[in-house]
Amino acid sequence: MTLPPHAPIHDPIRRTKIVATLGPASDHDGVLEAMIDAGVDVVRLNFSHGSADDHRRRLERVREIAARQGRSVAALGDLQGPKIRTARFREGAVELAEGASFILDMALGSDDGDAERVGCDYQQLIDDVAPGDRLLLDDGRLVLDVTAVVGQEIHTTVTVGGRLSNNKGINKLGGGLSAPALTDKDRADLTTAVDIGVDYLAVSFPRHAADMTEARELLGEAGKEIGLVAKLERAEAVADDATLDGIIEACEAVMVARGDLGVEIGDEQLIGTQKRIIKRARSLNRAVITATQMMESMIESPLPTRAEVFDVANAVLDSTDAVMLSAETAAGDFPVETIEAMDRVCLGAERERIAQESGHRIHEGFTQVDETIALSAMYAANHLSGVAAIACMTSTGYTPLIASRIRSGLPIIGLAHSAIAQRRMALYRGVVSLPFDTSEMTAQELNDRALALLVEKGIAEPGDHVMLTRGDEMNAHGGTNTLKILDVKDHHG
C-alpha cells in the first residue's frame, strides 16, 4: 500500500495485500477510482476474457488513477492456460441423470452435443484417461466415471448429475492431463502483457518448474522486469515437496488457485495443501496469493457470509501475502463494497497476536549479507520497544521482500527510486513502498531524509526508533550491508 506525497499514513496499516480482478463491473464510471481508493494493491487482468485493447485501456486507466492518488498499484496479467472444456450442445444445455451413460466424443462436431454425447476441445484427452478414472465437469458440479475408451470415444457413467451447458471445464481427479501449460493463445497474450507493461505474469496449470522456465524464456529481455506467478491448480504440482519447491523457486510468487486445484485433489485435501503452499512459499522467500471464491457471495450481496470472513481471516493468519478477488470485482454488483469488506476482515485478523509473532528461520544459518541484514532488522524490531517502522532503502525491492517473510505488527517501508520496484513491492505482505531518490546524497543526508519522510507520513514521530537498512553503494542490487537503529528525536527533536 502506498499513499500520496502529501497524505499521512493513518493507522492501522493493512499488511495483507488485496488483488482485484478488472472487468465490466470495474469499467463503470467512477468504480475503478473508488476501488483503488478503497485499498486495491494489485489489479488482475484476466486474459481468459476481453481483448488486448481492453487490457491496455484498463491498465492505462489504473496507472492514471494511481498516479493521481500517489499510489503504486501493481498489475498482474493472468494467462488462460490449457483449460480443457466440453464443446457445445445443440440446445445450449442438457440434463444428465445419475446412472445414465454419457460419451465424450472427440470426433463429434463442436456444436452437435446432446443428452447422450458431447465433443471436447482437447483431442488428447482420449490418451490421458482409462477405465476407472473419474472426470469432474463444471468445477466438480458433475462427476463422470470412465467405463471404457473406444476409438475416439470416452464412455462414462454419470455419478453426480445435473445441468451441463456449453464449454464447461473438465478435470481429472488426481491430475494426469498432459496439456502443456502454455498454449498458442497464451504465447500471444504473453506478448501483449509485455507490451502493455504488467508487473507480474501468472502462468496457469504449470506441472513442474520447466513450465515456468519456458515462460521466463518467452518473456525474454523485454520482460526481464516482470515477476512470474505460478498458479498452483494441478494435482501434479503439489503431489510432492520436491515438485512444489521447484515450481516456487522458478518464479517470484505463487497463487493458491483453489478452484481447479480443489477439483483435482478434492476439497478435503485442499485445506492442508493451502497451508503447505503458503508456508513453503514464505520459507523460500517468495510471495503467495490466496485466490478463488474468497467472497463469492458478494457478487450479488453487499455483505460477506460468516464462512467467507473466516476463510479470508484464516489465510491472513497463515501469512499469505495477498488475497484475491475474481468475479466479485470483475462482474459483481458490489465491487467497491467487496474491497472494503476484505480490508476490514484483513485488519481484524492482523490484530490477533498470532499474526504478529514469527519463528521464521530462527534456527537456520544465512548465506547472503542482504538476507542477514533484513532478517536481523526484523528480529531486532520485534524485540526492541519503541520501534515505529523498518525502513529499507532498496533498488529492486528484494530486502523488503526478505524482511516481510517475518511476521510483525510493524510496517516495513520500502524506499525506492524505481517505479518498477515500488510496484513490485505492492504484492509483499506488510510492505509500504514510498518513492525515495538517493542520488547525490551523503550517508548522513540519506538517514535524515528517510526519517523526515517517515515523520511526514505519520509513520514515526519524535521519540521513536526506526530500523534502517541500506548499502554502502546505493542502487546496487544485493548491496544491503548496513543496519542502523536511528532515534527520530536526534534528527527531528
Catalytic site positions: 44, 85, 231, 292
Q: Which residue has the cell 480490508?
A: 343
- The helix (H) or strand (E) run that includes residue 200 is strand 200-203
CA distances from 338 to 248, 289, 330 (A): 29, 17, 11
Question: How many angstroms separate the first and last alpha carbons of the chain?
Answer: 28
Rounded Cα distance between 273 and 204, Å, is 18
Rounded Cα distance between 305 and 328, Å, is 13
- The helix (H) or strand (E) run that includes residue 193 is helix 184-196
Q: Give the ranges where 384-440 is alpha helix by DSSP (H).
A: 398-403, 419-424
- The helix (H) or strand (E) run that includes residue 231 is strand 227-232
Burial class from Cβ neighbours inside 10 Å (0-12, 13-18, 19+) for residue 121 reads middle
- DSSP, res 234: S
Burial class from Cβ neighbours inside 10 Å (0-12, 13-18, 19+) for residue 50 reads middle
- DSSP, res 303: S
Q: Is 100 left (phi over 0), alpha (psi -120 to 50) or beta?
A: beta
Rounded Cα distance between 246 and 241, Å, is 8
Say which residues have a Cβ less than 8 Å from residue 325's Cβ, sequence separation at least 6: 18, 19, 20, 21, 294, 295, 338, 339, 342
Query: In the chain, count of helices (H) and strands (E)?
Result: 16, 21
Rounded Cα distance between 67 and 4, Å, is 9
Strand, helix or coil at 228? strand
CA distances from 25 to 259, 331, 341 (A): 22, 5, 17
Please give the full DSSP string across 110-177, using - where no structure is assigned: TT-B-SSEE-BS-TTHHHH--TT-EEEETTTTEEEEEEEEETTEEEEEEEE-EEEETT-BEEETT---
Rounded Cα distance between 272 and 387, Å, is 35
